[in-house]
Amino acid sequence: MDFLHESGRDVSKGGHTCREAVSDPSLRMRAMRGEAGAAVLPLRVATAGESLDNAVALLRRRALPLLVMAAVLAAGEQVLLHRLRTGLYLRPPFYWPDMGYDPYYGYRGQPGAFGVWWQVVATGLATEVLIITLLGAYAGAAAGPALVGRSVTNRGVLRRTPPWSALLIAVVLAAAAWPLAYLGLVGLIVLYGLFGLAVPMLAFDGVNPVRAVVRSGQLSVRTGARVARVRILGYLTWLGIRAALGFGWIAVAGMLAVNVADAGWLDWVVPIAWGIANTVAYAALACLDAVLLVDARIRTEGLDIALHRARARGEDDAAVVAGAR
């Protein structure tokens, strides 16, 4: 963990230990200038609700880079989906398939209408997997300093983000997510629950992509598949928030007697509303993956015990965070 070695100067450079830092005026002054900070993530196991809260806390600490990256990716997603929907005549705000009402037969459905609509849905789900996975690289790099209380700049965290390995895993997972979503959501749910820790693990543990994917599956099924369950819970929680932001304003407009059903500006307002909602949700879900990685390491591998012992001996945290299994 290079970021811990670099930021570890606040505690261990020049032979200073954790105990000596308390009595050294120069180290105290550096802490006051913001070169050392309190831990954002607790060094203990967390409940599901606490994990969601910790993810938001991590997002707040790294809000600018995470939200900027999430906004760019969410905007690209909306552009792609808008073109697909426009080409297939799926109209806002809900983009339902044209079921084709017939006075005699009732709702018969246009030939292939549902299948075409479901392809767009599968594309949207696959892009969500891609975006959340990509953002997990930065969230994983930020989790280390947040856990041990080291202050690292946003640029410093970015330098420790493994872009190509993260992109490789994200593309593979997204490519697998599309057919799994199209053929039914069960396979997609399994994929989403098992492999969310892979990219955060690249930066947090410094492992290679293959090892990261394997360990993600192993950690996700431990203790009753807790990681998978909390990850799905987090997705559903943020899905509700996104739906409220993406569609809620339509209900408000209806209460104000504003007819938005045939408004021409729906074509661009709805994608913008969903883009804004997705920006926050994707960043928060990426942070949740990093938080769940830390929690799984504490629950099943004794990361907290190893860190406490290292600190008691006056050792650097870096080797423990990077290598404790």
pLDDT in tens, the chain (325 residues): 444 444 433 333 333 433 343 344 443 334 333 344 578 999 999 999 999 999 999 999 999 999 999 999 999 999 999 999 988 888 888 888 876 554 444 444 555 678 889 999 999 999 999 999 999 999 999 999 999 888 889 999 999 999 999 999 999 999 999 999 999 899 999 999 999 999 999 999 989 999 999 999 999 999 999 999 999 999 999 999 999 988 887 777 767 656 676 667 788 889 999 999 999 999 999 999 999 999 999 999 999 998 888 888 877 776 667 533 3
Biggest CA-to-CA distance, the chain: 87
3-state SS of the chain is: CHHHHHHCHHHHHHHCCHHHHHHCHHHHHHHHCCCECCCCCCCCCCCHHHHHHHHHHHHHHCHHHHHHHHHHHHHHHHHHHHHHHHHCCCCCCCCCCCCCEECCCEECCCCCHHHHHHHHHHHHHHHHHHHHHHHHHHHHHHHHHHHHCECCCHHHHHHCCCHHHHHHHHHHHHHHHHHHHHCCHHHHHHHHHHCCCHHHHHHHHCCCHHHHHHHHHHHHHHHHHHHHHHHHHHHHHHHHHHHHHHHHHHHHHHHCCCCCCCCCCHHHHHHHHHHHHHHHHHHHHHHHHHHHHHHHHHHHHCHHHHHHHHHHCCCCCHHHHHHCC
Domain residue limits, the chain: 47-323
Strand partners, 150: 36
* pLDDT at res. 261: 65
pTM of the model: 0.84
Q: Give pLDDT, residue 258.
A: 66
pLDDT score recorded for residue 159: 92
